[in-house]
Amino acid sequence: MPVDGRSHIRIARPSRDLAAAERFWRDGLGLSVLYRAEGGERPGEHDLLMLGWPDASWHLELVHDRAHPVEPRPTEEDLLVVYLDGPVPEEAVARLEEHGGRRVASPNPYWNAWGVTVEDPDGYRLVLCRRGWSGS
């Protein structure tokens, strides 16, 4: 199979607290839990949470290794952008905040003009963009 626009994408990140991350991404944004696994204390085993929309061509994988935790190190430019093609509902932002998110200003004025940026419990940023995606 060639690598092209039909290839499924997995965005993998470490998490300090999978329960907090799940509340943000599932209860706050509305992603579904696609898969969950609990690791153990042995080397190479880790807890895993995969979230996404079942019909999307991407999903988010969050991992936590209890024996050797990896501290998330996001920057202000590590973004997951969701293009809404319409206004950003304030109730959606409030729901994200109620479930562990923190609304922040972006250092990039483009995202402040066209959307709302919310940090997840691990410090990664989600942008809800009111623009649509045209592929260009």
Contact 103/117 with Cβ under 8 angstroms? Answer: yes
What are the pLDDT digits (tens) for 37-55? 988 666 667 899 999 999 9
Other CB atoms within 10 Å distance of the CB of residue 51: 22
Q: Above 80 in pLDDT, residue 27?
A: yes
CATH code given to domain 9-64: 3.10.180.10
Contact 64/46 with Cβ under 8 angstroms? Answer: yes
Q: Where are the domains of the chain?
A: 9-64, 79-129
Tokens of 18: 């999978």
Residues 75, 104, 87, 92, Cα dihedral to 10°? 100
Q: 3-class DSSP state for residue 124?
A: coil
Topology at the third CATH level for domain 79-129? 2,3-Dihydroxybiphenyl 1,2-Dioxygenase; domain 1 (3.10.180)
Computed on alpha carbons and rounded to an integer, the radius of gyration of the chain in Å comes to: 16
What are the pLDDT digits (tens) for 50-94? 999 999 999 999 999 888 889 999 999 999 999 999 999 999 999
Q: Above 90 in pLDDT, residue 134?
A: no
What are the pLDDT digits (tens) for 1-24? 678 878 899 999 999 999 999 999
Contact 16/69 with Cβ under 8 angstroms? Answer: yes
